[in-house]
Structure 1
Amino acid sequence: MLNKDQQKKESAPGQSSGDGGTVSARSGFRRKLISAFILFHLIAITLWAIPYDLPSIVEGREIIAPYMRWTGLFQRWDMFAPKPILKNRYLKAVVITTHHHIYIWSYPRMDQLGFGERYRKERYRKLAENLTEDENPLLLADVVNHIARFYNDPNDPPEKVILLKYETTMRPWLDDGNEPEPKPEVLYEDYIDPADLQ
């Protein structure tokens, strides 16, 4: 009869003749994979956030851009410094149906949300910033189709969506109560293909 110490020694992973070596190899591979993943993230975030536009850095950003956007990790340096964005932007959409009903859809605005909800929906602000860039026309078409699906009634389907951008310049340290009123500007408008409502 074996005592407890002898049982522990015999069942130790390094001393058994079973598949302990295979488990150890898998564990080592997982550790290396996780370490590579963390290293990639550190490099990607540093490359994305560094405030220099050297050719090699710009080229690196272009390579990692799809991944950074897909994960929502992208961020602009100008949010913090040296010159923060001084534009207050928000989006609304006008949805017109085939029977000429009009619906107004408001994009989530961080200044109108509570702290917890703002934390969960921060990605919407990032998306809105990217929607207003000129190089994203395909993204605008997808967003317009997505908005149209909210109002997809088989008896009165959406026919046209107009995406409006409201923008005003912020004036830090000037709180005189005379904030300029944001003016709407048509960012995108298109008729909806019924196939896009599926």
Structure 2
Amino acid sequence: MPEKKTPRNAPIWIKAFVIFHILCITMWALPPPKKPYMLGTAKLGVNTSSPAAFARSFSDTVTEGALYFNWKYLKSSPLIFYPGVTGFWQYWDMFSPNPAQVDLYLEADVVFQDGTKKRFKFPRIYTMPIPMK
């Protein structure tokens, strides 16, 4: 008699968590919109004067609209705490159309028991020679 195979299926809470996780990581990794959209000086819209203008303006509207929605509504919501608190934060916006202009690094002021102080500088890719990178 052939064995009955039970269908493999994850519980609904696992599926919901995976969707939540993907949403939060995507929200975190997307760059902000271009400055004119952030300041409200540029408006989203579709140009129907020619097929080429339509394609260009439609693509720009979808891309910048999604980035604006993410920046304005999602990144200001409580969802923003999940990647930071759990350690899933990341910065892939260096490859985006408008890469980040921020250089983050860490230094520590160490105070020894005898009262002397020393500044410890963590290695920075920017200052390393090419073979070490």
Structure with the greater alpha carbon radius of gyration: 1
Structure with more strand by fraction:
1
Structure with the larger RCO, 1 or 2 (CA within 8 Å, 6+ apart): 2
TM-score (norm 1): 0.34
TM-score (norm 2): 0.46
